[in-house]
Structure 1
Amino acid sequence: MTVHQEVPAGNPANLSEPSHKDKFFQPDRADEWLAYAAFLLGFLFIRWVFLPFQGWGVSLYTALFVTVVLLYLRQKRKSIPGESWFWFAILLLTGLSFSLWPAQSVFGLRALLLLTAAIYWVWTAADATLRGKTSDWLPLDLLCGIFYTPFKNFFAQYQSLAAANKKHRKITGEQWSVLLGVLLAAGVISVVGPLLIQADAGGFTAMLRNLQPLLERLWKTDALLPVQIILGIPTAAYIFSLLAGSIHGRRVAPQSAESFVNALRKLPSATVYTLLLLLNGLYITFILSQLPYLFSAFRGVVPPGWESYAEFARRGFFELCFIAVINLLVLTVTHLGIELAKQQSAALRAFNTLLAMLTLVLIATAFSKLALYISIFGLTVQRLLPGVFLIFLAIVFGAIAIRQRTRFSVVRLAAFTGAALLCLLCVINTDALVTNYNAKRYLSGTLDEFDTTVLYRAGSAGLGAALLLYEQSDNRQLRVELDRYFDIISWRSEANAKTMRDTWQDALVRKELAEHKRAFPAEPPN
């Protein structure tokens, strides 16, 4: 992805400077209360987010996290840049999706988006980016926000706690006396309790017996509590160091970042021109020699020599996608490596434009193959995600071509586009979209068979499609498979009921399946 310089190499003054240049961390009252709040955030992150990573607990934690961050920024009297509200919306929408549906097929992408959006929102809200906005320095901003600043300030939380202890009074002698009394009472009760049980006529033992199920349930629920507390301590330190470090300016200096990038500019212009010329020549030759083969997928026909649609649609798809990614890396490396004085040359801009346009042709060809395959075999998340990725690449390469005439940040556009597309995949319930598409096509006769594998991959999100098939299809074997699917998702939804893992989709499963069982009672065994 091309990176352009918005200021001259020798003039870093226009880059945003850290707001504080203190060598040592100097906490104030806002840092002190954040140090205590971070322990709660760290513990709840492990308990509600990290271990389940599903359900309304994640949504609740997201709301709590943004509330604490906003209060901290207000205490610091920090004005929030307008751009940060975009990342705020991405974070909230992604967090909300966890309480709506499991999204099993995009589990990893959704978790990655949630964590990255949370960190980068803090970074932008604190105005800690190198240029004061999302820019070509985005990769370095992410590295600083995820690794450098949190680990550089990892013990800042304890510095704030130490400062708070110096300002506040120590525990009085009376409070120590009460604490000592509680400890002594616990010791005495541990001895007297068993004696009371032995001397009891039955009432005291019966009362304890009634409490036993509650205590056992509490232990089962909180068996991981010690582990959660232990893991929550370093998590709290990370959260505090991210927030406080971004505000106190303890991050990479803009001058150091610019010097590092300028040191990479060692590629001679002749090398860059030769590389781009040969690549463009290769792609032009390939496209011209394969015109019937490349564009036949647009017409939905198989060229001579191919036995089936499936073989034709699969052949070369991933190779074309990989070539597009390689071309993106080539354009990025050549732009970072060539001297600044040569970046605006007409020859380089022409080569970049041609390579971008040729790559768009290859992307369109790959997309046509994917569309042909989906039209024959139906939709899966594994086919939907490459399609979304191709759309993202098409936008990026289109921007690169336009960038050769108009100055703007391609990285910035790619960041907003990529975040919006990923968030959309989380919010629209991708699994339900896939299963409903296949079910409707099967019932309309445009799909030869319905692969129930997509239902199991979708989890409870496939309920709507499964109920539709059960009501409208007369395929007995399919109904038997659907009954098995209903049993599985019913068991899962019941297991999630009244827990932090529960979702709106699970509640819908419990309601809809109860109505389904009344409408279609189980047939008695022969």
Structure 2
Amino acid sequence: MRRLTPWTGAYALVAYTLISMAAVRDADWLVGVLLVAGLALAALAVSGAGLGWIGAIRGVLSVLLALPPVPWFLAEPLKRLTARRRILPVLAGLGLTAVLVGVFGLLFASADRVFASYVRRLTATPDWADTLPLRVFLFAVVAVLLAAVVLVALRPVNDPAGPEVKLTVSRSVWLLPLTAVNLLFAAFVAVQITALFGGDAWVLRTAGLTYAEYAREGFFQLVVVSVFVLGIVAVAAGVLRVGRRERWLLAGQLGVLCALTLVVLASALHRLALYTDAYGLSRLRLSVQATLWWLGAVFALVLLAGAVRLAGRGSAWLPRTAVLVTGVALAGFAFVNPDLRVAQTQVTVRGVAKMDSDYLGDLGAEAVPALDRLPEPQRSCVLADVVAANDLKDADPWNGWNLARAQARAVLAEHPIRPDVSCSGESSRTID
């Protein structure tokens, strides 16, 4: 078994935080992402892998890769458990017990009606019996996954070494394209700065757009541009073999490209901020906003890694740090409470006259405290949709307790939904 390291401890802590959010947040779209990310980080922590990018991928998939050997791993313990001299007496005792209890139970039930009524109650099919096959299936799946986790923890997992692909090419092959791309990025950044300080009048005069239309257009493309830049940096830094002098030149080109990309990301954030100031947040806008901040953190790490490499030190910490930052970013996104933030901004920015009742009615239980501040009849109409969408009418079982749902039910108990309001006249407006 691998020794616990600060990296594996940090992965385990973040994984626990992400998975435990299932008991705090109710929005299915968010909880699903958090569970997948938490399980991936837990697998990486158990395997101890992740020294490089390939090692990180190998660590995330380690539990799934360990599923095929699970039967061989469990074969010997099961063989000892089911040894003939141990299992046969147990089976014989269980069979004899069933026969005796069944015979005497039937005789007693036929002899006394009161006893028969208790027997019928005990042998009646419980409500949970309908879901018993699903419960057994889930139990088997979880058991197999736990066996795979134990197998990964017991077996030494070596970080696979990636193929050493280094190409020696002429300086002009990479210098000219990188210089051209940097000039293009610089021109775009100059336009963004001009638009930022020129304001509404400059945009209307130059682009023929309203400021809201200008803010809405393009930030998805800017996110794609930043992802492409990460690919360019990865290929140039990992594939090109350059001399000592050329190394500084290549690092300078890539550093300028990353710095300009950070400005592009800031421009995308500014556009998104203008748009949300006018129309409020939505799940998509808040997710894009979080993605932009995460990309900014990744580019900052890449710039730091490049500076460290130029100083003669290694950058093997970059893959693990990027994975850890991603996990922490997801945890922070969950703590922000997206559905509550969306409800708050829709109520305050768009107001009752322009709000999309159908969209708000599909939010999770986290949105109930914000939606409770709406005036009637909009409050009861929207909250009725939230209750129906999230099944808040009936209490959750003890093993399905959720903080957001409990808080929503407390709000609804204090301020019940009015059954006498009419929602047929409520119009639905699409969130722009």
Measured against the shorter chain, the TM-score band is 0.7 to 0.9
In 1, the alpha carbon distance for the partners of 2:141 and 2:365 equals 31
Which of the numbers 347, 354, 358 marks the counterpart of 1:449? 354
2:92 alignment partner, one of 180, 190, 200: 180
State whether residues 396 and 414 of structure 1, in contact with CA within 8 Å, keep that contact through their aligned partners in structure 2. Answer: yes
Q: Distance in 2 between matches of 1:104 and 1:159?
A: 35
Question: What letter matches 1:162 in structure 2?
Answer: E
TM-aligned CA distance change 1:494 to 1:183, over 3 Å: farther
Pairwise CA distance, 1:79 = 4.3
Whether contact under 8 Å (1:105, 1:381) holds in the other structure is: no
2:288 is aligned with 1:386: yes
Q: Could you say if the C-alpha distance between residues 188 and 217 of structure 1 is closer, same or farther in structure 2, counting changes exceeding 3 Å?
A: same
Return the alpha-carbon distance in structure 2 between the equivalents of residues 280 and 303 of structure 1: 28
1:225 aligns with 2:142: no
Ranked by relative contact order (alpha carbons within 8 Å, sequence separation 6 or more), the top structure is 1
Q: Is the CA contact 1:296–1:303 (under 8 Å) kept in the aligned structure 2?
A: no
Provide closer, same or farther for how the CA distance between residues 345 and 225 of structure 1 changes in structure 2, counting only shifts above 3 A: closer
8 Å CA contact retained: 1:435, 1:462: yes
Question: Could you say what secondary structure the match of 1:436 adopts?
Answer: helix
Does the 8 Å CA contact 2:73/2:151 hold for their aligned counterparts? Answer: no
Matches of 2:373 and 2:340, distance apart in 1: 12
- The sequence identity of aligned pairs, in percent, is 20
Corresponding residue for residue 39 of structure 1: none
- What is the CA distance between 1:250 and its match in structure 2? 4.4
User: 2:11 corresponds to which residue?
Assistant: 87
Three-state SS of the structure 2 residue aligned to 1:224 is helix
Structure 1 counterpart of 2:30: 106
1:345 to 235, 247, 250: 247
Deviations 1:5-32 (Å, cap 9, x if unpaired)?
A: xxxxxxxxxxxxxxxxxxxxxxxxxxxx
How far did residue 423 of structure 1 move?
0.9
Matched residues in 1 for 2:78 and 2:418: separation? 65
Task: Give the corresponding residue for 2:369.
Answer: 464
Aligned AA (1:146): V
Residue 496 of structure 1 and its aligned partner are, at CA, apart by: 5.5
Q: Is residue 269–residue 338 contact of structure 1 (8 Å, CA) maintained in 2?
A: no
Equivalence for 1:251: 158
1:242 to 152, 157, 160: 152
Q: 1:252 to 1:345 in 2, by over 3 A?
A: closer
Unpaired segments ≥5 residues, structure 2: 310-314, 423-432
Deviations 1:355-401 (A, max 9, x none): 11221221121111100000000011211111111112222323433
Root-mean-square deviation (CA, aligned residues, Å) is 3.5
Segments of 5+ residues of structure 1 without an aligned counterpart are 1-75, 131-136
CA distance in 1 between counterparts of 2:421 and 2:298 reads 59
> Which of these residues, 326, 331, 340, is aligned with residue 418 of structure 1?
326
What letter matches 2:154 in structure 1? A
Query: Match of 2:425?
Result: none
SS in 2 for 1:242: helix
Cα separation, 2, equivalents of 1:297 and 1:157 = 68
Which whole-Å CA distance do the structure 2 matches of 1:230 and 1:435 have between them? 40
In 2, Cα distance between equivalents of 1:231 and 1:282:
52
- Tell me by how many angstroms 1:480 deviates: 4.7
Cα offsets for 1:292-329 (capped at 9, x unmatched): 44x36877974324343332112221111111111111
Q: Is the counterpart of residue 209 in structure 1 residue 120 in structure 2? A: yes
Instruction: Give the conservation status (yes or no) of the 8 Å contact 1:349–1:404.
Output: yes
Against the structure 1 CA distance between its residues 219 and 239, is the aligned structure 2 distance closer, same or farther, given a 3 Å change threshold? same
Post-superposition CA distance 1:475-507 (Å, at most 9, x none): x45235235235426x71344511533302222
Deviation of the 1:251 alpha carbon? 3.4
Aligned to 1:30: none
TM-score (norm 2): 0.82
Aligned partner (choices 151, 160, 167) of residue 65 of structure 2: 151
Secondary structure of 1:500's counterpart equals: helix
Q: Please point out which of 259, 268, 286 is paired with 2:169.
A: 268
Please give the alpha-carbon distance, in whole angstroms, between the structure 1 residues aligned to 2:294 and 2:323: 10
Distance in 1 between residues matched to 2:157 and 2:190, nearest whole Å:
55
The equivalent of 1:435 in structure 2 is: 343
Number of the residue aligned with 2:430: none
> Which residue matches 2:415?
516
- Three-state SS of the structure 2 residue aligned to 1:468 is coil
Q: Does 1:484 align with 2:384?
A: yes
Give the letter for the 1:375 counterpart. D
Classify 1:290/1:162 alpha carbon distance in 2 versus 1 (closer, same or farther; 3 Å).
closer
Match of residue 21 from structure 2: 97
The CA deviation string for residues 387-446 of structure 1, in whole angstroms up to 9 with x for no partner, is 111112222323433444333444344333222111111234221222223334456xxx
Q: CA–CA distance in 1 between the matches of 2:62 and 2:378?
A: 54
